[in-house]
């Protein structure tokens, strides 16, 4: 865990204009800097950086904040990853907070595995570039594939010498421990004697090497392709599962593709390493691979951090297509939009990209990408054309896929399309869909009732009524933010946002987008973008501690969190935790009726709470100007202009968020 002193030092030393300057070409504009937005395509600069305030604002996308917020937004890093990135940039030594011996040992072990993997990548790269065998064998293979030097460097490709222990000996001579060479799977160790007597073999000997990176660029593992015709050896070999490499949670090429995926708002999904590399080299950089494994929920969520649109690419093998589409329902369950693109018979993404120009490749993808449901319906319809029983099973298969989609409007569109393709009435399809829905609700309700019966319920009644008091709305809103963080901070939620983009006519228009973020990350970025500070000092300290813990540990343990608080702060937190029923949408649960709870609509709760906080702060600014005018019995032109601007902004926010703008309500 990164210590608070290290985080403070990172903020103290980091210069927002220097960090952003690594990614955006900035030009001096008065006391500020200006540049093109790194988040949208634009011709006129609307990205502003203020060295004085150490903040940035992108007026085309609506994003903004401090230096850490930029690194998180641009590189898609978590808060700790952003802090570590800045610490490396400014040569700040990262201090870790006190941990248990077991935790320290685990952290050191994982870090040692990362270091070993990083060395392995550099070693294999050096073999490819500088050794005679590497250039003759590995270099010839990559040249045959058509990979350029730039592409080889981008993906850090390499070569493992065809010798039993060349890599292992080189690593141990550099001081790397055999224990971690074995745990990363780079070295295979035989028999159970002491390490100095064990027989050691390089797992990837005689293979060209494809490093597998995390979203932040760390080396997790490797894929190796054999170059001989040995039928007993696997053509491709991957690193085994380890503490740092989990095949089901990794996508090959995600590090190189993340910027393009976010920019293009689409991700192409292929099967192999060379498919990714060939596409990238040919100008289509928003492409990743599941590396021969069945697609998993974790991999889909990794893509969903960057976009909600996936285009799955298949070669012309019909049998392979039929087998592969069975697993794509997982993508629909995640609320993603899925398209399918198949290549001509005998072609795959690698060969097609290699034999076509960038323009031809992009045109083919655009013209041949078909909506997934339409593709599935057409494919299955061909197979069951003359068999009524098989046709009925096909329709159930398609309806099952449609049922996975959480968006009701999208479901209806697909029902209409399915009815047209399968020549069946929409009423029958809706009826089948409804049956599935009723069954799911009944199953969920049964499980819910069973769970409630197993729990020991403590019912606490509180008196109602009493003397009313004037509510400090600002305090209540800040308390709501604390409550949201305590109850739902670690929850991943889909948030609606509005960005400004230029249309084909050159007009700037608003466009609705959806982003998947942790609740605490969303709140942090929203408050940072408007430079909102808590007015209640106790809430400010609680908020700072909560964000710090979430960023370092990903979750908050209430008992440990309480130890960090003062007596006053602890009382506030206890009051929030003990009044959880305040934050529920209804009391239907007490009647054993399963309903959609507030936790399921937390995105809306966050949205409205921050919107009301912004409006309240605007009201305070208006009141402040009115007070100054009253004290002087006169209004300056600037004060009148300020009031006008504040009210215009409040009107716009109220309209956007659908909130009442009665002044007394907010005061």
HEC profile for 408-470? HHHHHHHHHHHHHHHCCCHHHHHHHHHHHHHHHHHHHHHHHHHHHHHCCCCCCCCCCCCCCCC
User: Which of 4-8, 491-495, 590-594 is predicted with the least confidence, judged by mean pLDDT?
Assistant: 590-594
Interatomic CA distance for residues 252 and 219, integer angstroms = 11
254-426 under CATH 2.90.10.10, yes or no: no
Per-residue pLDDT, 194: 56
Please return the burial class of 623, using the count of CB atoms within 10 Å of its CB with bins 0-12, 13-18 and 19+.
middle
Those residues with Cβ within 8 angstroms of residue 302's Cβ, 6 or more apart along the chain or in another chain: 215, 249, 250, 251, 254
Interatomic CA distance for residues 590 and 569, integer angstroms = 31
Interatomic CA distance for residues 256 and 156, integer angstroms = 11
239 DSSP assignment: P
The tokens for 464 are 């109602």
In this structure, what are the phi and psi dihedrals at residue 440, rounded to the nearest 5 degrees?
Answer: -65, -45
287 DSSP assignment: E
Alpha-carbon distances of 637 from 624, 625, 631, 648, rounded to whole Å: 16, 12, 16, 17
User: Which of 97-111, 444-458, 463-477 is predicted with the least confidence, judged by mean pLDDT?
Assistant: 444-458
The confidence band for 286, taking pLDDT boundaries of 50, 70 and 90, is very high
Per-residue pLDDT, 456: 38
The confidence band for 618, taking pLDDT boundaries of 50, 70 and 90, is confident
Contact 422, 380 (CB under 8 A): no
Contact 597, 589 (CB under 8 A): yes
Question: Distance between alpha carbon 599 and the CA centroid of its chain, in Å?
Answer: 20
Residue whose C-alpha is closest to residue 416's, from 371, 477, 353, 380: 371
State the span(s) of the chain assigned CATH 3.90.980.10. Answer: 101-245
101-245 topology per CATH: DNA primase DNAg catalytic core, N-terminal domain (3.90.980)
Kindly state the average pLDDT of the residues 45-60: 83
Interatomic CA distance for residues 90 and 150, integer angstroms = 28
Interatomic CA distance for residues 424 and 289, integer angstroms = 37
The tokens for 610 are 């921050």
Per-residue pLDDT, 65: 79
4-89 topology per CATH: DNA Primase; Chain A (3.90.580)
Contact 65, 525 (CB under 8 A): yes
Interatomic CA distance for residues 587 and 575, integer angstroms = 20
pTM of the model: 0.62
State the span(s) of the chain assigned CATH 3.90.580.10. Answer: 4-89
The pLDDT > 70 percentage for the chain reads 78
Show the CA angle centred on residue 282, arms to residues 160 and 349, nearest 5°.
75
CB atoms within 10 A of CB 116: 23
Interatomic CA distance for residues 667 and 651, integer angstroms = 16
pLDDT of 661 above 70: no
State the span(s) of the chain assigned CATH 3.40.1360.10. Answer: 254-426
Residue 523: CA count within 13 A, CB half-sphere: 35
In this structure, what are the phi and psi dihedrals at residue 474, rounded to the nearest 5 degrees?
Answer: -60, -45
Per-residue pLDDT, 273: 96
In the numeric block, the tokens 């997982």 are attached to 330
Per-residue pLDDT, 5: 86
Show the CA angle centred on residue 73, arms to residues 71 and 75, nearest 5°.
60
């Amino acid at each position: 865990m990164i210590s608070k002193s290290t985080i403070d030092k990172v903020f103290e030393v980091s210069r927002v204009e220097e960090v952003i300057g690594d990614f955006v070409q900035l030009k001096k504009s008065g006391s500020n800097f200006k540049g093109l937005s790194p988040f949208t395509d634009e011709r006129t600069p609307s990205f502003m950086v203020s060295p004085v305030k150490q903040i940035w604002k992108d007026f085309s996308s609506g994003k903004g904040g401090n230096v850490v917020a930029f690194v998180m937004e641009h590189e898609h890093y978590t808060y700790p990853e952003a802090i570590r990135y800045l610490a490396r940039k400014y040569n700040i030594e990262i201090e870790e907070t006190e941990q248990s011996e077991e935790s320290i040992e685990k952290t050191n072990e994982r870090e040692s595995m990362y270091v070993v993997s990083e060395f392995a990548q550099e070693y294999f790269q050096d073999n490819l570039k500088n050794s005679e065998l590497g250039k003759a064998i590995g270099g010839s293979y990559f040249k045959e594939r058509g990979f350029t030097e730039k592409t080889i460097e981008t993906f850090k490709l390499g070569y493992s010498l065809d010798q039993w222990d060349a890599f292992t000996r080189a690593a141990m001579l550099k001081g790397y421990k055999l224990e971690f060479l074995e745990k990363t799977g780079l070295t295979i160790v035989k028999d159970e004697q002491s390490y100095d007597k064990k027989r050691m073999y390089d797992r990837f000997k005689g293979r060209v090497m494809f490093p597998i990176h995390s979203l932040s660029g760390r080396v997790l593992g490797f894929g190796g392709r054999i170059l001989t015709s040995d039928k007993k050896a696997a053509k491709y070999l991957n690193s085994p599962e380890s503490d740092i490499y989990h095949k089901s949670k990794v996508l090959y090429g995600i590090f190189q593709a993340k910027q393009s995926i976010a920019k293009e708002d689409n991700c192409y999904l292929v099967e192999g390493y060379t498919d990714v590399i060939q596409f990238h080299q040919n100008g289509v950089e928003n492409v990743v691979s599941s590396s021969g494994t069945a697609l998993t929920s974790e991999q889909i969520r990794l893509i969903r951090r960057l976009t909600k649109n996936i285009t799955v690419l298949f070669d012309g093998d019909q049998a392979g297509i039929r087998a592969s589409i069975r697993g794509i329902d997982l993508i629909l369950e995640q609320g993603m939009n899925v398209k399918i693109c198949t290549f001509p018979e005998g072609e795959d993404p690698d060969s097609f990209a290699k034999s076509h120009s960038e323009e031809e490749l992009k045109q083919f993808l655009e013209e041949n990408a078909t909506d997934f449901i339409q593709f599935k319906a057409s494919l299955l319809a061909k197979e069951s054309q003359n068999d009524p029983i098989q046709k009925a099973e096909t329709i159930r298969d398609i309806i099952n896929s449609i049922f996975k989609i959480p968006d009701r409007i999208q479901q209806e569109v697909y029902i209409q399309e399915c009815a047209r393709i399968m020549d069946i009435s929409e009423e029958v399809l809706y009826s089948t869909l409804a049956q599935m829905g009723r069954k799911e609700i009944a199953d969920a309700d049964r499980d819910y009732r069973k769970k409630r019966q197993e729990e020991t319920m403590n019912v606490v009644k509180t008196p109602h009524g009493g003397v009313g008091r004037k509510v400090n709305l600002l305090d209540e809103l800040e308390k709501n933010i604390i409550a949201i963080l305590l109850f739902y901070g670690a929850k991943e939620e889909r948030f609606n946002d509005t960005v400004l983009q230029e249309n084909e006519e050159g007009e700037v228009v608003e466009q609705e987008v959806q982003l998947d973020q942790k609740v605490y990350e969303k709140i942090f970025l929203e408050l940072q973008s408007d430079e909102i500070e808590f007015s209640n000092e106790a809430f400010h300290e609680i908020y700072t501690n909560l964000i710090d813990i979430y960023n370092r540990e990903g979750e908050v343990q209430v008992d440990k969190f309480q130890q960090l608080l003062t007596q006053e702060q602890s009382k506030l937190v206890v009051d929030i935790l003990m009044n959880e029923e305040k934050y529920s949408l209804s009391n239907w649960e007490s009647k054993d009726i399963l309903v959609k709870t507030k936790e399921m609509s937390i995105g809306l709760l966050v949205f409205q709470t921050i919107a009301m906080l912004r409006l309240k702060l605007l009201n305070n600014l208006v009141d402040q100007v009115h007070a100054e005018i009253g004290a002087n019995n006169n209004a300056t032109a600037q004060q009148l202009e300020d009031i006008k601007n504040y009210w215009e902004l409040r009107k716009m926010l109220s309209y956007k968020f659908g909130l009442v703008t009665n002044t007394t309500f907010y005061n």
